[in-house]
Amino acid sequence: MKKRGRPRKSLIRERMQTIVDALGVTYGYEIYKVYQDAYTSVDLRSMYYHLRKGLVLEEFEEVGVQEVKGEFTWGDTSIRKYYILGPAAKERADDGLHIVVKTLGLNYQDPNDFLDWGAFSQKKLEQMKLEFDKLKGKPAANREKLEVLNKKVGGLCVWLDGKVKIKEFEELRKSIESKLKI
């Protein structure tokens, strides 16, 4: 049986991961500018599609939104959503990409300087607790969703380890695993 829809893996998203790795914290149009210089031409709309898809797949994490004033073709303000690599990101930047980034006059911005990991992890924890609360009261048909959630929490534990205390994530994971044993 042939699977339908777009494949999960994407060369565009893989390349975008390398760009985000090279920049640390960045926004969509900046990713697009580097992509255009480092790789083949890509449609801006396609880039934003892959950013949204990467958020769902946890290859990217949105870490902030900023309104920037200036003279843009569409008006005097721009809304920038900032991204970092997520727990499911696998690709890393090579030396050639770092050279392209420097040539464009861009610099690496350390996510640790930009992001309050404590607040960020609390927000993620609350989202996952809500998801678990919705699933735990439902029939066994949601077992697959519980397993996916358990895998997500496990990935976050690994990703956040060393950045914040992950005790609460581990406790949530134990609760999910106990529910899966029933």
Number of domains in the chain: 2
Query: Could you give the angle at which helices 28-38 and 11-23 cross, rounded to 10 degrees?
Result: 110
Answer whether residue 2 is part of any domain.
Answer: no
Tokens encoding 21? 């790795």
Verify that 35 and 95 share a domain, yes or no: yes
Tokens encoding 29? 């149009």
Task: For residue range 72-99, list pLDDT tens digits in order.
Answer: 888 999 999 999 999 999 999 999 999 9
Verify that 27 and 110 share a domain, yes or no: yes
Verify that 32 and 81 share a domain, yes or no: yes
Verify that 110 and 138 share a domain, yes or no: no
CATH number, domain of 44, equals 1.10.10.10
Verify that 62 and 147 share a domain, yes or no: no
Task: For residue range 142-170, list pLDDT tens digits in order.
Answer: 788 888 899 999 999 999 988 888 899 89
| % of the chain beyond a pLDDT of 70 | 95
Q: pTM (2 decimals)?
A: 0.86
Nearest to 153 by CA among 76, 58, 80, 89: 58
Query: Could you give the angle at which helices 143-160 and 167-181 cross, rounded to 10 degrees?
Result: 160
- Residue span of the structural domain in which 166 resides: 117-181
Answer whether residue 6 is part of any domain.
Answer: no
